[in-house]
Amino acid sequence: MSGDSASRSRRATAQQLSSLRAAGVTRIASRSRKSGQTSSDTKSVPAPDATAATACSRSASLFNAPQSTMPRAEREEKLRILSARVAQCVRCAELSATRTQTVFGVGNPEARIMFVGEAPGADEDRQGEPFVGAAGQLLNRILEASQLKRAEIYICNILRCRPPGNRTPALEEAANCREYLDGQIEIVDPEYIVCLGSVAAKNLLGSMDSIGKLRGRFFNYGRAKVLCTYHPAYLLRNPAAKKDVWGDMKFLMHDLGVEL
Ligand code: SF4
């Protein structure tokens, strides 16, 4: 990092700490992604842990992992192997019998931001890619407004098979598929995970709280900061909630050093 970059980073960090203190956040976990060490008790905490925020160092690229410990080619290969396992998976009898294909995940294997949705729908089941239907198009517009591109982030779901009739995933199905989600998180190693909707938020964080209560703050999941917001499909039914999602995206991007 150059002297200018270092001083910019220090100024950004000071501004973040100041704004977090102003917001009443008192517990800050500083962390080195290079070493994986944390200076507080937030390391590898799988349960919700609100208010922990990280003064992450910024790289030249906003959207690639700044201090990757795993080369990109190795990540791609590991994701390919995991995806091949998923394609053969029959853990959920009903889903594996009714799916057209599994829907693993797409995007940048070094992404700093991972979006996690609920499960594939009819369009996703047909095309083998998450968020390609109407909700996916709305997600694309949200990303664009947030100065993000799909190719820069990583997108996956709690489930990798479509539940018949788009029913809510059963707890057992989410548990069956958790190994694959955790595998993707471990390989991509994002700094931020955005849970889209209550199924993603509740399953990832193990929380019973509503999405309305989980919004507006960061949780920790392993090394990642987790933000919860509404699912784009919910926004299609409830357009009034778009302003809340916009607020959540501004909150996320502010933490990344981008003012929307
Ligand atoms: S949802 Fe996940 S665990 Fe269940 S059959 Fe599909 S890939 Fe396997």
Tell me how far the alpha carbon of residue 55 lies from the centroid of ligand 1, in angstroms: 36
**CB of 177 closer than 6 A to ligand 1?**
yes
Write the DSSP assignment of 124-176 as a string of letters: HHHHTSSS-SHHHHHHHHHHHHTT--GGGSEEEES-SSPPGGGPPPPHHHHHH
Distinct helix (H) and strand (E) counts, the chain: 10, 8
Q: pTM for the whole thing?
A: 0.79
What's the domain range around 123?
A: 3-255
Q: What is the pLDDT of residue 69?
A: 84
Nearest ligand 1 atom to alpha carbon 86: 7
Q: What is the pLDDT of residue 68?
A: 65
**What is the sign of the dihedral through the CA atoms of 16, 206, 181 and 135?**
negative
Please check whether residue 162 lies inside any domain of the structure: yes
* Residue 204 tokens, joined: 């990832």
Q: What is the pLDDT of residue 45?
A: 30
Token pair 């100024």 is found at 11
Q: What is the pLDDT of residue 209?
A: 95
Residue having the nearest C-alpha atom to atom 3 of ligand 1: 177
Please check whether residue 260 lies inside any domain of the structure: no
Token pair 């390989």 is found at 187
Nearest ligand 1 atom to alpha carbon 169: 1
Greatest C-alpha distance within the chain: 58
Tell me how far the alpha carbon of residue 86 lies from the centroid of ligand 1, in angstroms: 7
Q: Which of 92, 146, 87, 119 is nearest to 233 (CA)?
A: 119
Please check whether residue 98 lies inside any domain of the structure: yes
The CATH code of the domain that includes 107 is 3.40.470.10
Burial class of residue 79 (count of CB atoms within 10 Å of its CB; 0-12, 13-18, 19+): buried
Q: Which of 197, 203, 119 is nearest to 164 (CA)?
A: 119
Q: Which of 216, 184, 220, 171 is nearest to 75 (CA)?
A: 184
**CB of 161 closer than 6 A to ligand 1?**
yes
Residues β-bridged to residue 220: 225
Q: Which of 65, 45, 96 is nearest to 204 (CA)?
A: 45
Per-residue pLDDT of the chain (260 residues; tens, 9 = 90+): 444 444 444 444 344 333 333 333 222 233 333 333 333 333 333 333 443 333 333 333 566 666 568 999 999 999 999 999 999 999 999 999 999 999 999 999 999 999 999 999 999 999 999 999 999 999 999 999 999 999 999 999 999 999 999 999 999 999 999 999 999 999 999 999 999 999 999 999 999 999 999 999 999 999 999 999 999 999 999 999 999 999 999 999 999 999 99
Count of structural domains within the chain: 1
- pLDDT, one tens digit per residue, over 62-116 is 666 665 689 999 999 999 999 999 999 999 999 999 999 999 999 999 999 999 9
Angle between helices 134-145 and 242-255 (to 10 degrees): 50
Q: Which of 65, 66, 55, 57 is nearest to 30 (CA)?
A: 55
Tell me how far the alpha carbon of residue 205 lies from the centroid of ligand 1, in angstroms: 19
Token pair 């993707």 is found at 184
* Residue 173 tokens, joined: 């199905």
Residue having the nearest C-alpha atom to atom 8 of ligand 1: 89
Which of 176, 180, 181, 184 is the best mutation target for the ligand 1 pocket, counting ligand atoms within 8 Å of the beta carbon and taking the most? 176
**CB of 159 closer than 6 A to ligand 1?**
yes
Token pair 């729908």 is found at 121
**CB of 96 closer than 6 A to ligand 1?**
yes
Residue having the nearest C-alpha atom to atom 2 of ligand 1: 177
**CB of 173 closer than 6 A to ligand 1?**
yes
- pLDDT, one tens digit per residue, over 116-134 is 999 999 999 999 999 999 9
**CB of 92 closer than 6 A to ligand 1?**
yes
Nearest ligand 1 atom to alpha carbon 99: 6
